[in-house]
Structure 1
Amino acid sequence: MKYIEPVKSIVLFLLVMLSIALTFTIWTYTPDYRYIEQVESKEILVGSQKNFEDLIRPYKAVYRFENGFTGTVSNSVMKDLMKMWRGWNVFDLRIDSNLSANYMNEMIRTDKRMTVFFTGEIPFSVLSTTFQFTDKELPETTFNRMIIDWSHYANRELQVFFVSNSSATSMRAHVSIQNAHQFMKNIIEPAEKYGAFQEIERENATSLYIAKDTIESVKYTYFINDLSPELFKNVLFTEPNIVRSNMESPIEKYTDGMSEMTVDTNFKSLNYVYPAAESSVSIEPSKLLKDSFEFINEHGGFTADYRYISLGMNQNQIDYQLFLQGLPVYSDQLIYRMSTIWGDNRIFHYKRPYFSLDIDIPSEKEIKELPSGVEIIDKIHQMDNIMVSDIDELTIGYYLTQNQSLHIFTLEPCWLMSRNGKWTRVTPELFGGVKLGLE
């Protein structure tokens, strides 16, 4: 019994030492890590992503000189204009409200002014990505025309008006330019040689500005590139693996029980709805346009030259239209617009084409001559069912048709007329069969 206590002490000492050794081992242990490859989820893109400025582009510019108006719809000129604006220092903003149609017409016909036309009412605050404003807070107003007065360019200063037809308002401002000589040489002097334009005055309405001479344009033929509906299924549905499909040509339906995507193979259109997101709360224009752009751009949805054309705050709707060579495209055979309706913090409704223009066929190009805008207006004046005062715009564009057997699209130059936000192709039938150069 006399050895029990010494044995206990020895055992206790050993246990303490073992505990210390294990603790030290744990503290100092460094495992032999093997490299674990990080597998990131792939971002699904149906097309290339765009810059916001690509969607906010003018389609026409009209210049007032002493001898009258000149104008152009050249895509390259519009790009040069936007390049010129980048970095402009805009200051001394003032709002003019309740402008009459006659006053807005007078603003444009004043000598030494150019007017740039946009396809839709643009939220003023989105210009902060293009211009440099001295004002920290920009008003939540919109505009669809930009009037630039160069009468005092020698002082390195321009006066600019951002005019809204729909609200009859104008944001007046000044711009300081570093190189006035370059502005005149690159922007104003070439405009003196552009084609002649004519102002079509209308009672109690803003004027139309159209080409006085016949116009040559190119007919294009493209191979079709169909975008896979499966790509959009993977983009739009949260869990694509549980999506059920029902293929009954020409309509294909996809659903996960919460949302539905419908594909019309005849019109090459795709329609997605998430009913639970429906909302009646209006969103301010700048945020609405930003949310719509980011939603589409995240999956590369601007698969061609789509331009922002309209904003409907009552439904939180944004529309984009297909353009080619800077001119709007219209069709009664195929869908040619994209639209989004924003809901409760997410997309509620998304409608779009699922085709893109793939390859231009050079051998199929053909020069077409169209009558002048003045001739078209003269014919409309003779009609009983269309009033010139009801026309929102009259412009050159393209009429899109498809040949399904050859899998090609044809884009025919034509005159397009916009009324109440809807485009119509100007055809011989519209004028009672008189061809007038329209084919």
Structure 2
Amino acid sequence: MKKETIKSIILTVLIITSFLLTWNTWTYQPATREKTDTKLYESIPITNETREFHEVVRPQQLFIHEGDKHYSTLNGTYMNSTWKKMQEWEYSNLKKEEQTFPNEQSFQTWLNGIKEKIELRFFSEIPMFTFQSMLKWEAEITGNLSFDSILLQLDRGSEIQKVYFVSYDKMSVLESSVNNENASNFIEGLFNNKGEFQEYFSIQIGNGKSLYLPEKEVTVEKYQYLTEEVEGRKFRDALFTNPSIVKQDYNRYTDSVRLLDISLSNQTVEYVNTTVRNSNSLIASSLIDKSIVSLNSHGGWTNDFGLFHVNEEEQETTFIMMIKSMPVINSARKPFGPTTISQVWGENELAKYYRPLYELVDNGFQNNSSTLMSGRSVQEMIIGENAKYDMLQIENIFIGYELSNSGNYVNAEPVWCLKMDNGETTIIYEEDKVTGGNANGME
């Protein structure tokens, strides 16, 4: 064989070998890399509890108005049944734009024009988009409309039930109707039960809004609960995307960018994601939506909670613990852990999360009752000569429960509360009527 032929054969083999090696280099993927890249980590929910939107976004008070007479009750049965019934109605004839009143007098004149009505009041402004999403009600509206009260007009014998979505803060009204005779009959039946309610009186606080307080002293049941701490690792497994790389230092967990701090002494859980930047991009309806979806996905409903406050400026939502449809307030005077869940959002991710570590076990048991001072006495304390509150900053006055530690149990005792327009809550103690002091609640 000639030398030239041998050289050609060797050169051809070298070229083919080089090509194969280059191809293998381009297409080769180590098995370990493939396994690492495709492995998915699923969070493990703290509980299996989830909530429908209407179970979290719900009214806090129900009033019956008959001209200058007002009635209400602390029995949540009437309010809850009305709210549940309203989820079944088919709404129509929603006006595309709200009616806004130029001044307080014209707004009050409109309110007084509906002589007989049922009113449902909420702790926070509720976006119209949120209400529509609960009902799958596709109605065209303009702007980010919201309301803090719903008025159900009593029109005896009518087959059409008028529904008004009212914002006292904006002095605006959005009108709709329900073409259902059963809805009208339900409202008429509820109105006729006002004899089972207590008589209330009104206090004007501005923007046409009135607060309603009971004429007489109020007797409210007290309860005792066993409590149970939620294990820190459950929050770790629920909140971190990859729990396997999380390092633990006593009751602090971190993956270098997220921090979870568990405080046994304060009964608090605090989670911070340092990679999330501040953002003001989410409107109220989106904040509520993301917060409820988040709590559903990681099983954060350890007890009954309701929407309490929405702060678009801070991109924050707050949910408050409820006992027998009444809010639970924590105070500096009798501290026992937080009673609210707060979430701060940034760039569509959860930036901060603060909540109770404990949960109230079972339904509790009744432990006698307390008699609270009348609304007239409360009125004297908040607008009397020695009052320390600015009426224009008071958003609501209501009765809630205060938690205090009692050995192996937690006591839930009824108290009078003020909610200020910044979301802060203050407890009014009857002894402060004499001493002139006050105790701040949650912040």
TM-score tier, shorter chain, comes to 0.7 to 0.9
Shift of 1:213: 1.6
Cross-structure match for 2:7: none
Equivalent residue in structure 2 for 1:226, among 229, 232, 245: 229
Post-superposition CA distance 1:51-103 (Å, at most 9, x none):
11110111211111256111223211111111221232232324112453444
d(CA) in 2 for partners of 1:263 and 1:78?
36
Secondary structure of the corresponding residue to residue 154 of structure 1: coil
- Code of the aligned partner of 1:379: M
- Code of the aligned partner of 2:73: T
- Code of the aligned partner of 1:44: P
Task: Count matched residues.
Answer: 389
Q: Is the 8 A contact 1:125 1:138 kept in 2?
A: no
Cross-structure match for 2:291: 292
Moved over 6 A (4+): none
- Code of the aligned partner of 1:372: S
Cross-structure match for 1:144: 148
Q: Is the 8 A contact 2:43 2:239 kept in 1?
A: no
Post-superposition CA distance 1:8-37 (Å, at most 9, x none):
xxxxxxxxxxxxxxxxxxxxxxxxxxxxxx
d(CA) in 1 for partners of 2:409 and 2:327?
19
Secondary structure of the corresponding residue to residue 355 of structure 2: strand
Cross-structure match for 1:259: 258
Q: Is the 8 A contact 2:168 2:208 kept in 1?
A: no
Cross-structure match for 1:326: 325
Unmatched 5+ residue regions in structure 2? 1-40, 438-443
Secondary structure of the corresponding residue to residue 77 of structure 2: helix
Post-superposition CA distance 1:349-377 (Å, at most 9, x none):
11111111103553x61111111112210
d(CA) in 2 for partners of 1:200 and 1:240?
53
CA gap of 1:361–1:384, structure 2 versus 1, over 3 A, is: closer
Unmatched 5+ residue regions in structure 1? 1-39
Q: Is the 8 A contact 1:253 1:260 kept in 2?
A: yes
Q: Does 2:125 align with 1:124?
A: no
Cross-structure match for 1:49: 50
TM-score when normalising by structure 1: 0.82
d(CA) in 2 for partners of 1:83 and 1:142?
20
Q: Does 2:206 align with 1:198?
A: no
- Code of the aligned partner of 2:167: S
Q: Is the 8 A contact 1:211 1:373 kept in 2?
A: yes
Shift of 1:262: 1.1
Equivalent residue in structure 1 for 2:397, among 394, 409, 418: 394
Q: Which has the larger radius of gyration?
A: 1
Q: Is the 8 A contact 2:43 2:238 kept in 1?
A: no
Equivalent residue in structure 2 for 1:179, among 182, 199, 212: 182
Secondary structure of the corresponding residue to residue 82 of structure 1: helix
Moved more, 100-109 or 214-223: 100-109
Q: Is the 8 A contact 2:330 2:403 kept in 1?
A: yes
Shift of 1:161: 1.6
Q: Is the 8 A contact 1:115 1:147 kept in 2?
A: yes
- The percentage of counterpart residues that share the same residue type is 20
Shift of 1:191: 2.4
Secondary structure of the corresponding residue to residue 314 of structure 1: coil
d(CA) in 2 for partners of 1:336 and 1:384?
27
d(CA) in 1 for partners of 2:268 and 2:105?
42
Cross-structure match for 1:370: 372
d(CA) in 2 for partners of 1:54 and 1:138?
26
CA gap of 1:148–1:236, structure 2 versus 1, over 3 A, is: same
Post-superposition CA distance 1:137-182 (Å, at most 9, x none):
574211111111123x422112222112333322122222232563
Q: Is the 8 A contact 1:105 1:207 kept in 2?
A: no
- Code of the aligned partner of 1:342: W
d(CA) in 2 for partners of 1:195 and 1:204?
26
Post-superposition CA distance 1:177-216 (Å, at most 9, x none):
2325631454221124311110112456622111112111
- Code of the aligned partner of 1:177: N
Q: Does 2:112 align with 1:111?
A: no
CA gap of 1:135–1:386, structure 2 versus 1, over 3 A, is: closer
- Code of the aligned partner of 1:425: I
Cross-structure match for 2:32: none
- Code of the aligned partner of 1:219: K
Post-superposition CA distance 1:380-429 (Å, at most 9, x none):
313142244432211111111123xx332111111111223211111134
- Code of the aligned partner of 1:190: N
d(CA) in 1 for partners of 2:399 and 2:48?
28
CA gap of 1:264–1:106, structure 2 versus 1, over 3 A, is: farther
Where do residues 63-74 of structure 1 align in structure 2 (5 Å cutoff)? 63-66=64-67, 68-74=69-75
Post-superposition CA distance 1:299-328 (Å, at most 9, x none):
210111111111111221111111111111
Post-superposition CA distance 1:247-290 (Å, at most 9, x none):
2xxxx321110110111222211110111112324212222211
Q: Is the 8 A contact 1:108 1:115 kept in 2?
A: no
Q: Does 2:65 align with 1:61?
A: no
Equivalent residue in structure 2 for 1:432, among 431, 434, 442: 434
- Code of the aligned partner of 2:148: N
d(CA) in 1 for partners of 2:340 and 2:102?
32
Shift of 1:344: 1.8
- Code of the aligned partner of 1:325: K
Secondary structure of the corresponding residue to residue 278 of structure 1: coil
TM-score when normalising by structure 2: 0.81
d(CA) in 1 for partners of 2:94 and 2:184?
23
Q: Does 2:212 align with 1:212?
A: no
Q: Is the 8 A contact 2:160 2:179 kept in 1?
A: yes
d(CA) in 1 for partners of 2:264 and 2:380?
40
Root-mean-square deviation (Å) = 2.5
CA gap of 1:42–1:92, structure 2 versus 1, over 3 A, is: closer
Shift of 1:122: 0.8
